[in-house]
Amino acid sequence: MAKDLNSDNSSHVNSNSKQNFKQEESVLQSEKALLFIINNIPGNIAYVGIDDLRYKFVNKLFEKNFKRSYDEIVGKHIREIIGESNYQYALKYIDEVRAGRSASYENEFTIKDGKRWISVNYVPGFNSQGKVEGIMVLSYDITERKQMEKELIASTKRLELATESGRLGIWDWDLVNDSMVWNDRMFELYGISRNTFSNNIDAWVTGLHQDDKQRAIDECDIAIEGKQDFNTTFRVMHPDGTIVHIKADGMVIRDNNGKAIRMTGINRDISEQKRMEEMLFNSQKLESLGLLAGGIAHDFNNLLGGIFGYIDLANARSQDENVSRYLSKATGAIDRARGLTQQLLTFAKGGTPIKKVQTLFPFLMETAQFALSGSSVSCQYDIQDELLKCSFDKNQLGQVFDNIIINAQQAMPYGRVINITARNITLNKNEHPALESGNYVKISIQDSGIGIPLNYLSRIFDPFFTTKPKGHGLGLATCYSIVTRHDGCIVAESEPGKGSTFHIYLPSFSESPIAES
């Protein structure tokens, strides 16, 4: 019986030994699998004691990245591996782990082969009593990512600089959700603020000039349909009435099925370019008119001379007072006709100014006072001290000032004041669309009259364009031609109901080689 019991006990012991062996083998296999995983995770893994802050374990990648073997790391204090400065930086995060909380940070570490950016994650390791006994450190080398971020930031800054330098408005339109994003320059171009921005296509449509609106919308739709690129020009009308000429370029982005889902592009202010084109066009029109006027005016002047001579002879021989009176009136009419031919001759070669270097003041004051004599309008002057001299023809420039002053007086039938200012200015290259770089005197003549309608402003220097019932449309065209022949420029600004300002630029001279006449 005892033998049988011993036999049974022996079998039971053998059975338990086999079971324990299998469990140990299973645990060993699990540990090997876990170690394999830890060593092949694409990150640095280490376990550090919470009290002594010494390494208890590191994986293979940790050894590789820190250029040290397992035995050179395990047992060492973390400051010996990561360096004093990095250790001091990490202490506040270690305190977080001591309190039972995870922590993470990014920092630039100095290791054997130089500086590397590392992303560090600290996870508290708890024992069976729930007390923190260690820190699981998970870290990743993010140097390449940081370099890419740095390059992206630099690229973005370069793009922003280029965009800002080019004064480009950038827009992005989500066609699916009809949501639109603008940069700051776009709000400047359209004269609105972010507070009034509708965040959709309505913001663009609302800003379009009425005469350009349908064409611009149609060209946008055609681009979305894929029939042509969005490359166009149009005008924008600000809420205050300011008109801006825009050059727009856009690109349509499509999904895999070819459906348009986004549209992005740039807007550029080409108002100065348009003004320059208009000024060039005006100069070409005046040049063409000059060729015509030169021939007609000379021939007409000769005919008037002959007519005047015969009338004068007839008047001398006439004994009838009534006839003499009529002949005198005819002579007066011929004089007025001669005045008109003189204006026409201004456009022709015969109107070339006879210039002398001289002062503009008090000549301009005297011209203005004479033009306003007998009216209820007065002038107020703001003239810079030591205003530079200019080279000009007094008769022709007097005609310019006289014409503009009379127009200003007529725009203020109930009186008030005309403000005349004069300044020495220096223009840099490309600062003014119609003038070379150099020194100029800028004369501004400002009234507070009825103003000029916006749709007329671009045409006021056109020959024969006038809004006056009895005007012939040569006054401002003559002014334009005279100032241009003086190598200067004349431009107008106006707002209906608030008045007009004419700016005249004349080349200036710091010294006067010719005495004032």
The burial class, CB within 10 Å (0-12 / 13-18 / 19+), for 248 is buried
Per-residue tokens: 99: 């309190």
3-state secondary structure of 445: strand
222's tokens? 């055609």
Pairing of strands 103-111, 377-383: unpaired
Helix (H, G, I), strand (E, B) or coil at 51: coil
* Per-residue pLDDT at 43: 85
Residue with tokens 């004479």: 370
pTM: 0.47
Q: Please, are residues 125 and 135 in contact by the beta-carbon 8 Å criterion?
A: yes
Give the three-state DSSP class for 74: coil
pLDDT tens, position by position, 24-35: 666 566 667 777
Strand 132-141 versus strand 114-126 pairing type: antiparallel
173 - beta bridge partners? 180, 263
CA distance 348 to 80: 93
Task: Cis check for the bond before 362: say yes or no (omega within 30 of 0).
Answer: yes
Block mean pLDDT (10 aa), the chain, length 517: 50 57 62 74 89 93 87 93 86 90 84 76 91 91 81 63 68 92 91 90 93 95 93 92 91 92 92 77 63 62 75 81 81 72 58 86 91 89 94 90 92 90 92 88 95 84 72 77 90 90 93 44
- Kindly report the three-state secondary structure assignment for every residue of 287-300: HHHHHHHHHHHHHH
256, 267 contact by CB (below 8 A): no
Q: Please, are residues 452 and 494 in contact by the beta-carbon 8 Å criterion? A: yes
Q: Which DSSP helix (H) or strand (E) runs through 28?
A: helix 2-40
The Cα–Cα gap between 57 and 198 comes to: 59
* Positive or negative: CA dihedral 76, 78, 82, 88: negative
Radius of gyration of the chain (CA): 44
Long-range Cβ pairs for the range 162-167 (8 Å, 24+): 166/268, 167/268, 167/269
- pLDDT value at position 5? 45
How is residue 3 written in tokens? 């033998």
What gap in Å lies between CA 408 and CA 368, rounded to an integer?
A: 11
Q: Which amino acid is at 113?
A: D
Tell me the C-alpha distance between 321 and 314, whole Å: 12
Do residues 168 and 185 make contact, with C-beta atoms less than 8 angstroms apart?
yes
Angle (nearest 5°) at CA 458 between 454 and 462: 135
Tell me what pLDDT residue 512 has.
Answer: 46
Confidence at residue 155, expressed as pLDDT on a 0 to 100 scale? 61
Q: Rounded CA gap, 504 and 435, in Å? A: 12
**HEC letters along 201-236:** CHHHHHHECCCCHHHHHHHHHHHHHCCCCEEEEEEE
Q: What is the structure's pLDDT at 515?
A: 39
CB 387 within 8 A of CB 422: yes
Structural domains in the chain, sorted by start: 30-140 (3.30.450.20), 166-269 (3.30.450.20), 274-351 (1.10.287), 356-509 (3.30.565.10)
